Amino acid sequence: MSSEVEIVASFADEERCARAIEALRAARFSAIRYFAPIPSEKLAEAMHRPKSWVRALVLGGGITGVLTGIAITVGTSLEWNLDVGGKPVVSVPPFIIICFELMILFGGISAVLGFLFFARLPALETAPRYSSRFSEDRFGVVVRCDDADAARVEAILNEAGAEEVLREAA
């Protein structure tokens, strides 16, 4: 069985980096990771990953918020059932405001917690192949492949315009 290696390439701009990822995917390499200093939509599209599950958590948080709102407004009104001037004890329009605010509050908190959970933060260890340049002005692509394919991967990366291509033991 052949051993695996990791090829690390750095790029000066996102277009070249995105082109490299597309070319690698076209050549059927799938174990690709990248590091980017900016929230790049081009790179995200090139990776063809499914949409983040954070949105499901936010939906769940929002629904929980509305239900909590209903529970505390309706629940407390019924608990101390006081008729004020013949107005309904469960007055829907003002309660909608509380439900709305709690929907936003719970949805927002779920968004942040969901992001931290799915992105595996706080990260106590540095991701392998991370370099501080990737937080500054360079884009990094890391490809894991068979030793036999390494030369082909390096060629694709160089062709796409990589500044530097390194081969590391996986």
Partner 1 sequence: MAAALEIPVDPGYRDVDRVVLRAMEPPGLAYWIWIAFCFSLVGIAAISWAHQIYTGLGVTGLRQPVMWAVYITNFVFWVGIAHSGTLISAILYLFRTRWRTAVYRAAETMTLFAVTTAGLFPLIHLGRVWFFYWLLPYPNERYLQPNFRSPLVWDAFAVSTYLTISALFLFMGLIPDVANVRERSAGWRRTLYTVLSFGWQGTDEQWRHFAMAYLLMAGLATPLVISVHSVVSWDFAMAQLPGWHSTIFAPYFVAGAIFSGVAMVITLLVPMRRLLGIEELLTPWHFDNLAKVVLLTSLVVTYSYITETFMTWYSGDPIEQMTFHMRYFGPWGWMFWMMVVCNCLIPLLLFSPRIRVNLRALWIISLFVNVGMWSERFVIIAGSLATNFNPSQWAFWHPSITEIMITVGGFAWFLGLFSLFVRFMPIISMTELKEGIVWLKQALRKGWSTP
- Which residues are within 8 A (CB) of 142 and not within 5 positions of it... i.e. 6 or more apart? 6, 7, 8, 32, 33, 34, 35, 128, 129
1-9, 23-31, 51-59, 154-162 -> range binding partner 1 (CB under 8 A): 51-59
Rounded Cα–Cα distance for residues 58 and 66 (Å): 12
162 binds partner 1 (CB under 8 A): no
156 binds partner 1 (CB under 8 A): no
Long-range contacts of 70-75 (CB under 8 A, 24+ apart): 70/95, 70/99, 72/98, 73/98, 73/99
85 binds partner 1 (CB under 8 A): no
Q: Are 3 and 147 within 8 A, CB to CB?
A: yes
22-30, 115-123, 146-154, 157-165 -> range binding partner 1 (CB under 8 A): 115-123
Rounded Cα–Cα distance for residues 156 and 151 (Å): 9
91 binds partner 1 (CB under 8 A): yes
Q: Are 37 and 139 within 8 A, CB to CB?
A: yes
Whichever of 115 and 167 has its CB closer to partner 1, that residue is: 115
130 binds partner 1 (CB under 8 A): yes
Provide the minimum distance between the beta carbon of 148 and partner 1 in the complex, in angstroms, as a whole number: 25
Whichever of 28 and 87 has its CB closer to partner 1, that residue is: 87
Q: Are 162 and 11 within 8 A, CB to CB?
A: yes
Positions that interact with partner 1 (CB under 8 A): 33-41, 43-44, 47, 49, 51-55, 58, 62, 72-73, 76-77, 79-80, 87, 91, 94-95, 97-98, 100-102, 104-105, 107-109, 111-112, 114-116, 118-127, 130, 132, 134-137
